[in-house]
Amino acid sequence: MLRPGNTIIHAQQIIARCKRLAGFSEDQDGLRRTFLSPPMQECHREISQWLNDLGAEASVDAAGNLRGFYPGAEENSPKLLIGSHLDTVPNAGAYDGVLGVVIAVALLEALQGRRLPFGIEVVGFSEEEGVRFGTPFLGSRALIGQLDEELLNLRDAEGVTMRQAIRNFGLDPLRIPSAAMKSDALAYLEFHIEQGPVLESLGLPQTLGVVEAIAAQRRMEFEFFGCTNHAGTTPMNLRRDAIAGAAEWIVEVERTAKNVRGAVATVGQIVAKPGAVNVIAGSARVTLDVRHGSGDTCTQVTHTFVQLAEEIAQRRGLKLRRKELLAQRAIKMDAFLVEQIEEAIRNVGCHPHRMVSGAGHDAMILAEKVPTAIIFLPSPGGTSHDPAESVRTEDVAKALECGLQLLEQLSNSSEFQKRMCRA
């Protein structure tokens, strides 16, 4: 096993670096770093310096992804990709995404110049959250060759196209095809905070999550149409209240989801019109987000919600309009890598917990082209996408130890050597 020394000290440095990167923000009173914004350049400069100091060649591809290549023992060795995203949501915490990139850098540092049978490419994706252009995973889409003309023509809130944003950042959109992974990519590994309460709720002293799959996700929009009327003069039995219909349906969504093991369903937005305190609403638009580790179950549950909405609308004399916003299939992680990660976690004295990720990650995009795997660190309080987001030093230390142990296992694995020969 590789010996990184005192991993608590390394973990403290990782946390300090995450906090430093959180200072590169578009907002003075909080963290917001979106696709190819000026703070992203500052972030690139900082991480590039860390990489260059370790003998890794840092560069930025045409989609704005930071890439740092640490060569293997042999010339033209295939490479293992390790990384996460560098962009954030508005009013973000300091660890979502960025922690995975900083841990990747720390793994190179802990190698202390040692070369492995494979190279390591650290990847800091330019975009995962979908904040600036309303579409997520732009950075990882570039690596699998799917950053197409339709995406490049998307416009942000200021009317700037993605193509122009790339030019404004000093990059050439015509070179985007060169950002795609080459055939020498062996696999992709991502360290990430859980962004939920599951690991912490287990009550075990040291636990890391082994992601087996990323949940299927369906997003829809429903609009209930009734009749706008005076709140004081319309009897209750003569109303066609759009809000009341939507409210009944929302309660049914919650009740139904609670009875399906592993399912989560969220109505995250309600917009009622005309929106006056003394007027019965003529329309109520609501959103629906459904997730489950099984794509079939996710589809079945969503269909149940559609039927419920139709039944409620008909009974209340309302009209219903619906449209699908997203249909994402469940993505399984690579079985061999999952087993190796589980073994590595045990070997460093930690408890592995296999789980499904309810949140999407860059790994789900890269899984279309290479074997992928994710290691979750507990999120204290289950908090993420908020300034209160945090990590524990001891968990970061164990994640680093796990990563080093995993690199050692893969270096000595006959199965991984076969994969290297095929790359």
Lowest mean pLDDT among 68-72, 184-188, 419-423: 419-423
Q: What is the pLDDT of residues 365-407, one digit of tens each?
A: 999 999 999 999 999 999 999 999 999 999 999 999 999 999 9
Report the pLDDT value the prediction gives residue 5, as an integer from 0 to 100. Answer: 55
Q: Phi first, then psi: what are they for 74, rounded to 5°? A: -110, 150
Q: For the residues 32-41, what does the mean pLDDT come to?
A: 98
Judged against a pLDDT cut of 90, whether residue 101 lies above it is answered with yes
Judged against a pLDDT cut of 80, whether residue 3 lies above it is answered with no
Q: What is the pLDDT of residues 129-142, one digit of tens each?
A: 999 998 999 999 99
Q: What is the band of 418 on the pLDDT scale with cuts at 50, 70, 90?
A: confident
What are the start-end ranges of the E strands in 100-158? 119-125
Q: What is the pLDDT of residues 109-128, one digit of tens each?
A: 999 999 999 999 999 999 99
Judged against a pLDDT cut of 70, whether residue 153 lies above it is answered with yes
Report the pLDDT value the prediction gives residue 205, as an integer from 0 to 100. Answer: 87
Q: Is the four-CA dihedral 171, 172, 173, 179 of positive or negative sign?
A: negative
Which residue reads 């469940």 in tokens? 330
Judged against a pLDDT cut of 80, whether residue 339 lies above it is answered with yes
Report the pLDDT value the prediction gives residue 215, as an integer from 0 to 100. Answer: 95
Report the pLDDT value the prediction gives residue 4, as an integer from 0 to 100. Answer: 47
Judged against a pLDDT cut of 90, whether residue 148 lies above it is answered with yes
Alpha-carbon span 212 to 293, nearest angstrom: 9
Q: What is the pLDDT of residues 41-90, one digit of tens each?
A: 999 999 999 999 999 999 999 999 999 999 999 989 999 999 999 999 99
Report the pLDDT value the prediction gives residue 147, as an integer from 0 to 100. Answer: 95
Q: What is the band of 423 on the pLDDT scale with cuts at 50, 70, 90?
A: confident
Q: What is the pLDDT of residues 208-226, one digit of tens each?
A: 999 999 999 999 999 999 9
Whether 96 contacts 193, CB under 8 Å? yes
Going along the chain from its start, the domains and CATH numbers come out as: 7-214+330-422 (3.40.630.10), 216-328 (3.30.70.360)
Residue 190's Cα: distance from chain center in Å? Answer: 10
Q: For the residues 104-109, what does the mean pLDDT come to?
A: 97
Judged against a pLDDT cut of 90, whether residue 186 lies above it is answered with yes
> Please, what is the average pLDDT of the chain?
96
Judged against a pLDDT cut of 90, whether residue 326 lies above it is answered with no
User: DSSP character for 237?
Assistant: G
Taking every pair of C-alpha atoms in the chain, what is the biggest distance, in angstroms? 83
User: 229-235, long-range: CB within 8 Å, 24+ apart, which pairs?
Assistant: 229/279, 229/280, 230/278, 230/279, 230/280, 231/277, 231/278, 231/279, 231/280, 232/278, 234/280
Report the pLDDT value the prediction gives residue 1, as an integer from 0 to 100. Answer: 42
Which residue reads 């929106």 in tokens? 275
